[in-house]
Amino acid sequence: MSDVGNMIEHLFKRHPELILPAIVATLAIYAIKALYTLHGSRSQRRKEFLELWKDDPSKRDNLWIEMAVRHAFGKSIPASVVKEIIRRPDCAKNLTDISIAWKYLKYENGSISWSKKRFNTARKRTVGIWILNASYFLSALVSLAIFALIVQGTAPPVAWVYVVSLTIFSFVSLDLSIDLSVANRAVPRTLGLA
């Protein structure tokens, strides 16, 4: 075994509480690498989309429009909705915002509505945003407090599981909060839904 391997083995024998943080750090490195790869492929998709979109998209057939938008944004937005969006000023921002908000909408028989009753008024959406923000801050704060206990040595090694779980939950809450706030702003402005 190499000197580095012996050193790591010796370190983990003397400090077994470092095994879980080492595993988490290794997984974090792979997650960061995956995010950079995803960002690179997103940039490539954006470049390909702009190449496809450079001709007047309103003159294209519906299948082409839907597939181009799906390729760029990863969402299946009906061509009639896309055509309505591109007729408006600031169509790039509106199309991006609606693609983010699309998970909160449903399209049936040519009409768009909110997918759940809890989203059908601005007040309910605002309350949802506040709840998601509160869950973000609370879970991040509790995660940080548990991490501080781990660093002080007063928490059991299994506390790392709580730190990782709460951190993931806080970032998911933040992501959903951002998406819902985009939907709350963009859908009434662009699609005219209350």
Indicate the number of domains in the chain.
2
Q: Are residues 32 and 91 in the same domain?
A: no
Do 35 and 95 belong to one domain?
no
Please check whether residues 45 and 87 belong to one and the same domain. no
181 and 125 in a single domain? The answer is yes
Q: Can you tell me the distance from the alpha carbon of 75 to that of 103, in angstroms, rounded to the nearest whole number?
A: 9
pLDDT for the residue 55? 67
Q: What is the average pLDDT across 87-109?
A: 88
User: Residues 113, 80: one domain?
Assistant: yes
Q: Would you say 66 and 96 are in contact if contact means Cβ atoms under 8 Å apart?
A: no
48 and 97 both lie in a single domain? no
Nearest by Cα to 122 from 110, 104, 136, 106: 104
Residue 111 — φ and ψ, nearest 5°?
-125, 150
* Torsion angle, alpha carbons of 86, 88, 92, 95, to 10: -70
Quote the domain boundaries for residue 38: 1-52
Enter the pTM of the model. Answer: 0.71
- Together in a domain, 118 and 187: yes
Q: Are residues 25 and 66 in the same domain?
A: no
- Whether 88 and 164 map to the same domain: the answer is yes
Across 74-101, average pLDDT: 87
Q: Do 36 and 121 share a structural domain?
A: no
pLDDT tens for each residue of 34-66: 777 766 666 676 676 666 666 666 677 888 888
